[in-house]
């Protein structure tokens, strides 16, 4: 979808911003470009929509050499989101979002209808926010309008240059989650520049780690964290990459333990050989849990004594989410449910199993994991049984 072939950019003052860059981004793939300031990320990005022309090499978008494509036509196929969103201050949120379709000849009413849909899609209620002006929005809300506007012409390609760079870390995480959800729905081909390694790992299907003007490694976040190709990449992703791996390793069914289980309408058991049991409804969906103390009460059914379960996640959620759910609920384990059904209970994830899952993920890259393990254990204590 986007292909760089031996692309070099030398500015007039002799600075080589990118040097002999070759890579390919597949259709529907999100690639993060990450690296220190001045390493050539923005230059790479701006060459894709011809805001900057390469000195050497060729770039293809949708199979076409872009040097032969009219820049205006090209940019219609490419949404662009930048940190300083650049909304028109004198236009409302709805008008801002409808600008591009309107310019492309979509009738005003239709363009506004589409803009309202997009605002909804990025989590802004058009009835509440549509008539506001940019200055009446928070930083995070402005960024969302920026994303909605970039999507308005339904371009197959999105270029995003530090789009969430100007908001605080909490809002940033929120925007990242929303963007991931959105991307699942729209499946654009995305180049996403960031200097934040956590963001690159979280969002990227693959990531390009830049050194000076060059890509040092281009691979999945999991491989880059597990098997950095050289010392530069290892240093860049950081000594805590074992912990970062938590955010790219999914919970799998094989990671789960099977605890004692009771059903809501069961009579209270005479004996429970554990300190607690998971409680399911008639469809084997997760309802909650019951402690041995309550299970041995002398009256009622399981339903009367079961407590609701707050600490749960769908299978496929990340180990990081699992860990943070445990901390948030001060829980010694979390329940894991099927992600496709209405909540069918699959098993529980304990700290020991979480640690094993992390080992599995690291071992899959065939590396010596001893040091990372020690680090992880000393930070979290989760390796100890």
Ligand X SMILES: Nc1ncnc2c1ncn2[C@@H]1O[C@H](COP(=O)(O)OP(=O)(O)OP(=O)(O)O)[C@@H](O)[C@H]1O
- Please give the residue ranges that form the binding site for ligand X (CB under 6 A): 11, 13, 15, 17, 35, 37-43, 195
Q: Considering the complex, what minimum distance in angstroms separates the CB of residue 141 from ligand X?
A: 24
Contact 80, 29 (CB under 8 A): no
Instruction: Tell me whether residue 18 or residue 106 sits nearer to ligand X (CB atom).
Output: 18
Instruction: Tell me whether residue 11 or residue 88 sits nearer to ligand X (CB atom).
Output: 11
Q: Considering the complex, what minimum distance in angstroms separates the CB of residue 84 from ligand X?
A: 12
Q: Considering the complex, what minimum distance in angstroms separates the CB of residue 105 from ligand X?
A: 34
Q: Considering the complex, what minimum distance in angstroms separates the CB of residue 145 from ligand X?
A: 22
Nearest by Cα to 168 from 143, 133, 193, 134: 143
Instruction: Tell me whether residue 161 or residue 255 sits nearer to ligand X (CB atom).
Output: 161
Instruction: Tell me whether residue 37 or residue 378 sits nearer to ligand X (CB atom).
Output: 37
Alpha-helix residue ranges (DSSP H) falling in the chain = 41-48, 71-76, 93-103, 108-121, 126-129, 139-151, 169-186, 197-203, 221-226, 231-237, 241-245, 292-295, 302-305, 319-328, 351-363, 370-380
321-330 CB burial, b ≥16 within 10 A, e <16: bbbebbeeee
d(CA 1, CA 173): 28
Instruction: Tell me whether residue 48 or residue 335 sits nearer to ligand X (CB atom).
Output: 48
Query: Who's near 91: CB < 8 A, 6+ residues apart?
Result: 99, 133
Q: Considering the complex, what minimum distance in angstroms separates the CB of residue 282 from ligand X?
A: 56
DSSP 8-state assignment for residue 268: P
Q: Considering the complex, what minimum distance in angstroms separates the CB of residue 38 from ligand X?
A: 4
- Can you give 89-143 as a three-state secondary structure string? CCCCHHHHHHHHHHHCCCCHHHHHHHHHHHHHHCCCCHHHHCCCCHHHCCHHHHH
Instruction: Tell me whether residue 15 or residue 128 sits nearer to ligand X (CB atom).
Output: 15
Instruction: Tell me whether residue 40 or residue 288 sits nearer to ligand X (CB atom).
Output: 40
Q: Considering the complex, what minimum distance in angstroms separates the CB of residue 41 from ligand X?
A: 4
Count Cβ atoms below 10 Å from residue 134 Cβ, excluding itself. 19
Contact 204, 30 (CB under 8 A): yes
Instruction: Tell me whether residue 9 or residue 244 sits nearer to ligand X (CB atom).
Output: 9
Q: Considering the complex, what minimum distance in angstroms separates the CB of residue 42 from ligand X?
A: 3
d(CA 171, CA 213): 31
């Amino acid at each position: 979808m986007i292909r760089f072939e031996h692309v070099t950019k030398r500015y007039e003052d002799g600075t080589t911003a990118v040097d002999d860059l070759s890579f390919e981004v597949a259709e529907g793939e999100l690639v993060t470009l990450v690296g220190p300031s001045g390493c050539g990320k923005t230059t790479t990005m701006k060459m894709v929509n011809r805001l900057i022309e390469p000195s050497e090499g060729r770039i293809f978008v949708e199979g076409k050499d872009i040097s032969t494509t009219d820049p205006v036509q090209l940019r219609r196929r490419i949404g662009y989101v930048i940190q300083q969103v650049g909304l028109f201050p004198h236009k409302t949120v709805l008008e801002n979002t409808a600008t591009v379709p309107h310019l492309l000849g979509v009738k005003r009413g239709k363009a506004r209808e589409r803009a309202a849909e997009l605002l909804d899609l990025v989590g802004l209620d058009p009835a509440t926010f549509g008539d506001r002006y940019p200055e009446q929005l928070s930083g995070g809300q402005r960024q969302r309008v920026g994303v909605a506007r970039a999507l308005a012409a339904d371009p197959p390609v999105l270029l995003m240059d530090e789009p969430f760079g100007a908001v605080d870390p909490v809002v940033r995480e929120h925007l990242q989650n929303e963007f991931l959800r959105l991307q699942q729905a729209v499946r654009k081909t995305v180049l996403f520049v960031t200097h934040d390694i956590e963001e690159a790992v979280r969002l990227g299907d693959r990531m390009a780690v830049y050194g000076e003007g060059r890509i040092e490694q281009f691979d999945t976040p999991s491989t880059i964290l597990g098997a950095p190709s050289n010392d530069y990449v290892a240093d860049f992703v950081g000594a805590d990459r074992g912990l970062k791996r938590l955010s790219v390793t999914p919970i799998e069914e094989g990671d789960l333990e099977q605890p004692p289980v009771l059903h809501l309408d069961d009579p209270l058991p005479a004996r429970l050989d554990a300190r607690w049991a998971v409680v399911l409804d008639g469809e084997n969906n997760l309802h909650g849990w019951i402690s041995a103390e309550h299970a041995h009460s002398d009256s009622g059914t399981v339903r009367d004594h079961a407590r609701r379960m707050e600490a749960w996640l769908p299978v496929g959620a990340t180990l990081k989410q699992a860990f943070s759910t445990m901390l948030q609920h001060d829980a010694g384990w979390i329940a894991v449910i099927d992600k496709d059904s209405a909540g069918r209970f699959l098993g529980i994830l304990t700290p020991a199993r979480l640690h094993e899952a992390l080992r599995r993920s690291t071992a899959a890259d065939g590396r010596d994991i001893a040091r990372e393990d020690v680090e992880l254990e000393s930070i979290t204590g989760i390796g100890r049984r």
